[in-house]
Amino acid sequence: MYWLEAIGLIVFIVLMTIGYKRRNRNIMLGASICLLITLVGPDAVSGFNEGYKSAISEQST
């Protein structure tokens, strides 16, 4: 997961720089969404998996 965070941060920096230089708010918005997904995504996926496994184990008992 470290590589995903590092790549997402680099993409954020590149898109934010391009958006700022071109004065394009949509590119900067995309950069912010990319950063949000990069930082929250792995925790959300692991939390979902833990909850799903817990629900399955409670059903089987």
- What is residue 4's predicted lDDT score, i.e. its pLDDT? 87
- Whole-number percent of the chain with pLDDT over 90: 80
Mean pLDDT over residues 30-55, rounded? 94
Is the pLDDT at 61 greater than 80? The verdict is no
Instruction: Give the integer Cα–Cα distance in Å for 18 and 15.
Output: 5
Enumerate the H helices of the chain as residue ranges.
2-22, 25-60
Instruction: Give the integer Cα–Cα distance in Å for 53 and 18.
Output: 42
Residues 49, 53, 54: CA angle, nearest 5 degrees: 115
Q: What is the pTM of this model?
A: 0.77
Nearest one of 29, 33, 46, 41 to 4, comparing CA atoms? 41
